[in-house]
Amino acid sequence: MGCALRFDLGRLYRVGVMPSPSANERLKAILKAGHLFENKYRIVRPLGAGSFAVVVQARHEVMKRDVALKFLKPKVVAANPEVSERFVKEVQIAAKLRHPNVVTIFDFGKTQDGIYYMVQEFIDGATLDERVPPGTPLSMERSLDIVQQVLACLSEAHANNIVHRDLKPSNLMSMRHRDTGQEVIKVLDFGVAKLLEDPGRDAGPVRKSTKFIGTPIYMSPEQIQGHKVSAASDL
């Protein structure tokens, strides 16, 4: 059985379903400042890292435009292949939206080593939980402005049958408009978003889900109980 398992894994590496064992070392090399990725993106500096992905700032060599490069960690994909499916879904869902409060995705791909990546709009700012420390009160005016921007984004998402499912301060990026200096909120991470069934279709009986998705303290009652979500779950 051990030999069969090694053969199967080798086949997965060869056909590109899973990243090669050397992909982890390759990613480390890619992330170094000054590296030219895909012959066009010059790595500038790290922006952040999570359990599944790492994000760096880069600059397009010809267009001289700063972007954010998001890479899936190969070792995570090797252990959890569904992570790459979620990554692709995030790209597909975000690509459906054309709204100033959604981070724009410029490109997506997979290297020869099997490393998944996406090229996003670079946001020169900080997440709302970083901008507003715990216990710090917000003015009524700023609170309303932030909420209205988030609602404007959700209005387009919900019109496209997309439910975000993970709205929280750390998924809201605060930046300053280049011309007006006003605060602009960008909604991040559509990686756990759900594309709802077409309302006109009969989806049959609703099956209660046992998969826990979201952040508990920000989840709606129906979401945390595994019931069907809707636009109301975000609101």
* Residues 125-182 pLDDT 10s: 999 988 887 788 889 999 999 999 999 999 999 999 999 999 999 999 999 998 899 9
pLDDT, one tens digit per residue, over 56-68 is 999 999 999 999 9
The residue annotated as part of the active site, out of 107, 113, 166, 202, is 166
pLDDT at 191: 73
Does the annotation mark 166 as catalytic?
Answer: yes
pLDDT, one tens digit per residue, over 74-122 is 999 988 888 888 888 888 888 888 899 998 899 999 998 899 999 999 9
pLDDT at 193: 83
Distances (CA, A) of 131 to 30, 46, 123, 126, 222: 30, 19, 14, 6, 30
Q: How far apart are CA 213 and CA 190, in angstroms?
A: 12
More confident residue, 1 or 186: 186
